[in-house]
Structure 1
Amino acid sequence: MSPCAAFHLRPPFRAEHIGSFLRPSGLFEKRDLFERKQCSAEELRAAEDKAIRHIVQLQQNVGMRTITDGELRRSVFFEGIFDTLEGMTVMPNRAITTFKAGQYIPHIRLMYKAGLKEAETIFCTGKIKRTKSIYVDDFKYLKSLVPTKDVKYIKITMCSPSWYHQRHGSDLTYDLSIYKSDDEYFDDLGVAYRAEIKELYDLGCHIQIDDPTFCYFCCEGMISGMEKAGVDHEALLDTYIRAINVCTRDRPDDLTIGIHMCRGNFKGGVHFSEGGYARIAAKIFKRLDVDTFYLEYDTERAGDFAPLKYLPLNKVAVLGLVTTKNPKLETVEELKVRVDEAVEALMKGNPMRCRVVALNQLCISTQCGFASVWEGNPVTEQDQWKKLGVLVEAARQIWGCD
């Protein structure tokens, strides 16, 4: 491809949000009752249906091209995949000592510091199989709420395959009599992911994989902790890149798969790690078999845009410039300045590229979801929609579209 060739973005959007929304008050109250076992699953489902109709309309009103269900059916962003697959066993009270990564993984280290003795997790006790769909019914409902012409803009988010492995390490993630190696474990997980992705694709869906793990490899505290624990962090990073690629391989050319990398987004907008992308950029951008990288860039914790120089010409970077962690409203002018900085960094890449191509490889978004857990971040619904409105207006002024 010529460095100044036109780049075709699939699908054609410029302003994005990562996926999760604050629960509208009615759903928030119903979820609270459900968590306290004072509400049935049927009652909760009805409240979710109503809330999803509401936020779809609001996304359309604010001018967002991409539509999600806001993850409103989940209590936490990673719910769905692991707890649905055959071979996976939910352990509601597993000893915290089995969270071996507590010596270095940022959010596990906090669990240790909080003095937790046990926590819920999932352990692989048998061969992994997808015996039923996971998000397909959710997508079908979402699809019913938009015009046929807009179905191509819907995306479903799903947790990375490495989520539980990075907590426990190889020997405590899966039964060693079932899987002899990480490759065997991730290969079967990949088969399950590909089956789910294929069924969603056949219905017209695009996919976003949510993965905080990669940004942990940007954190100096984690790297030094891994070295002290005798863990080969470069080999583990390679393992997690392979795990994603097993899930995305052999996909149709018109299926867009993106990966969102963040530094934590827990209750109250808490983050877990910090560090720029320089440590991982060359490997991640060049070797991950995805089309789009959703990158957190709302604070100094994320570093500068220099690592974008490694972005290949056939990939897209979505800059998470708008924070979901507090109500401070960004301005269109601020976003335009930061996009221009990112363009300058891309133009210095290898291969070098002209301004037109560099700009065409970028989009803008929120840095994360507004509610990775159902309780949500310390912003109001009004704050949420104002921030998305700023994204849309900035996209219009920068690219002449949304």
Structure 2
Amino acid sequence: MQPPFRAEHIGSLLRPRPLLDRRRQYNAGSITRAALTEAENEAIADAVALQERSGLKLATDGEFRRRSYHSFFYQQLGDISIDTVAGEDARGAGTGGRAAQPVAVIKSQVQWTHPINVDDYKFISARTKALPKITIPGPCALHFRGGDAAVLAHAYRDLDTFWSDTVEAFRKELTALYDAGCRYVQIDETAFAKFGDPDVQASLKARGDDWDALIDAYIDVTNRMLRRLPEDLHIGMHLCRGNRGGQWHSEGSYDDVADRLFNALDIRFYFLEYDSPRAGTFTPLRLVPKHKSIVLGLVSTKTPELEDIGALKRRVENATRYVDLDRLAVSPQCGFASVDTGNPVTPDAQEAKLRLVASLAQEIWGTA
């Protein structure tokens, strides 16, 4: 069976405390890079074992070598700083509150100079019989989080050159992964799901952007990135409304983007958040064409409570009103640690949720 599998997970996992301690020691200059790498390797081997015993047919490295899902990648494409600025805030209940989120500031030309994820792929591949999945951030967030100002303030005089450089850099990374043997990549593109939030639409308008036109621009950029890649390189896209420490950045349905997202974007399958009412209903799935698949993100990584498998089965059944069952799969709504500090979930709860996803798939399709 090829991706997406019936039971999926988005990629990041809770960092073990010893690994976080070693990274702090490395940042403080008290241990060597080699010592940190050894700790990462040990933790990743354990993470692969966790995914295997949970019943999954894919394996990631838990994103254990990264501080966040995006900064590790963007910062290797040039002088791209991830700064905290006023703007898009994280909004969460309880201890979440509002907190400024980091945005990309482009201080040099975007350029691919070396493989970024190839060694990570090789490390996972050598340690599992599952299919390794590599996750990378999408190209559009570089613009979405800061707008034209973030691009044009330092390195670029026009957006066309920026987008051409960005597309070329991402294509080179995808090609390098394929040449190394990787056949499964997930693009974490956070912009598209946020276009359905009226507050996000208003903030984009306030900075001078036409949010509706941005959807078309981002689809064009993504399609250029994907053009003429090998057919057996399976690429899915994860859409996210924010996942830092159990918080979120936006809320709103897929209605405003669904038609173009599913029909104009050259992606074969989508990982969609559907763990809370913030994501809206399944109705937009009626627009998914027959040759595409949807992974329903039904299990929350933001809270430790374990979902009821019967309730989840009913939700999948509800989704079949719009998409045939054989084109559906299930997963958590996002990763367990989009940043290294992780979500308010224990390791035991994390494993229980991964096992739940696999059990749910087994009960519905007879396979994970």
Taking structure 1 as the reference length, the TM-score comes to: 0.84
Measured after TM superposition, the shift of residue 64 of structure 1 is 0.4
Equivalent of 1:42 in 34, 40, 47: 34
Q: Could you tell me how far apart the structure 2 residues matched to 1:91 and 1:284 are?
A: 29
Once the two structures are overlaid, the 10-residue window that deviates more, 155-164 or 27-36, is 27-36
Output the amino acid matched with 1:125: S
Q: Partner residue of 1:340?
A: 317
Paired with 1:300 and 1:124, the residues of 2 have a C-alpha distance of: 38
Counterpart of 1:77 in structure 2 is 69
- Aligned partner of 2:11 in structure 1 is 19
With over 3 angstroms needed to count, the CA separation of the structure-2 counterparts of 1:374 and 1:115, relative to structure 1, is closer
Shift of the alpha carbon at 1:309?
0.6
Whole-angstrom CA distance in 2 between matches of 1:46 and 1:61: 23
The match for 2:79 among 89, 95, 99 is 89
Q: CA deviation at 1:120?
A: 7.5
Distance 1:213 1:35, change over 3 A: farther
SS in 2 for 1:290: coil
1:56 aligned to which of 23, 41, 48: 48
Measured against aligned partners, the alpha-carbon deviations of 1:376-402 in whole angstroms (never above 9, x if no partner) come to: 111111101100111111101101111
- In the TM superposition, 1:300-339 aligns within 5 A as 300-339=277-316
CA contact 1:186–1:246 (8 Å) conserved in 2: no
SS in 2 for 1:54: helix
Q: Is residue 123 of structure 1 aligned with residue 100 of structure 2?
A: no
Which one of 171, 177, 182 corresponds to residue 200 of structure 1? 177
SS of 1:295 mapped into structure 2: strand
- Is the counterpart of residue 278 in structure 1 residue 261 in structure 2? no
Alignment partner of 1:190 is 2:173: no
Q: How does 1:155-170 map to 2 (within 5 A)?
A: 155-170=133-148
Shift of 1:228: 4.1
Task: State the SS of the aligned residue for 1:125.
Answer: coil
Where does residue 95 of structure 2 map in the other structure? Answer: none
User: SS of the residue aligned with 2:241?
Assistant: coil
* 3-state secondary structure, aligned to 1:16: coil
Rounded Cα–Cα distance in structure 2 between residues aligned with 1:114 and 1:263: 15
Is 1:257 paired with 2:249?
no
Cα displacement (A) at 1:54: 0.6
Q: CA deviation at 1:107?
A: 4.8
Q: Name 1:146's counterpart in structure 2.
A: 128
The one-character-per-residue Cα deviations of 1:161-188 (angstroms, maximum 9, x if unpaired) are: 1222112222431467x64432321222
Distance 2:5 2:81 in 1: 41
Give the deviation of 1:207 after TM superposition: 0.7
Which residue identity is paired with 2:142? Y
Separation in 2, partners of 1:248, 1:400: 32
Match of 2:343 among 373, 377, 384: 377
User: Pairwise CA RMSD of aligned residues?
Assistant: 2.2
| Matched-pair contact (CA < 8 Å) for 1:15–1:364 | yes
Displacement of 1:106 in angstroms is 4.3
The one-character-per-residue Cα deviations of 1:71-110 (angstroms, maximum 9, x if unpaired) are: 000010103322112xx21447x694xx7xx2xx4459xx
Question: Following the alignment from structure 1 to structure 2, what is the Cα–Cα distance between the partners of residues 131 and 285?
Answer: 32
Superimposed CA distance per residue, residues 176-233 of structure 1 (whole angstroms, 9 cap, x where no aligned partner): 7x64432321222111111111121223321101111111101111112333444211
Structure 1 residues 271 and 313: CA distance shift in structure 2, 3 A = same
CA 1:360–1:181 in structure 2 vs 1: closer, same or farther (change >3 Å)?
Answer: farther
Look up the SS of the partner of 1:277 in the other structure. Answer: coil
Deviation at 1:336, TM superposition (A): 0.8
Alpha carbons of structure 1 residues 175 and 246: separation in structure 2 relative to 1, 3 Å: farther
Shift of 1:310: 0.8
SS of structure 2 residue aligned to 1:73: coil
Change (3 A) 1:287 1:124: farther
CA distance in 1, matches of 2:208, 2:18: 49
Whether contact under 8 Å (2:8, 2:330) holds in the other structure is: yes
Alpha-carbon distance in structure 2 between the residues aligned to 1:34 and 1:13: 37
1:209 is aligned with what amino acid? I
Structure 2, unmatched stretches of 5+, are 92-97
Between 158-167 and 319-328, report the one with greater CA deviation. Answer: 158-167
Cα distance in 2 for partners of 1:106, 1:343 equals 34
Match of 2:230, SS state, is coil
Q: For the Cα contact (< 8 Å) 2:89–2:100, is it kept in 1?
A: no
Three-state SS of the structure 2 residue aligned to 1:15 is coil
Larger Rg: 1
Match of 1:391 among 357, 360, 365: 357
Q: Could you tell me the percent identity over the aligned residues?
A: 39
In terms of fraction of residues, the more helix-rich structure is 1
Q: Residues 137, 187 of structure 1: CA spacing in aligned structure 2 closer, same or farther, 3 A cutoff?
A: same
Q: CA deviation at 1:324?
A: 0.4
Q: In 1, are the aligned partners of 2:89 and 2:99 still within 8 Å (CA)?
A: no
- The total of aligned residue pairs comes to 361
SS of 2:217's partner is helix
User: Retained in 1: the 8 A contact 2:271–2:294?
Assistant: yes
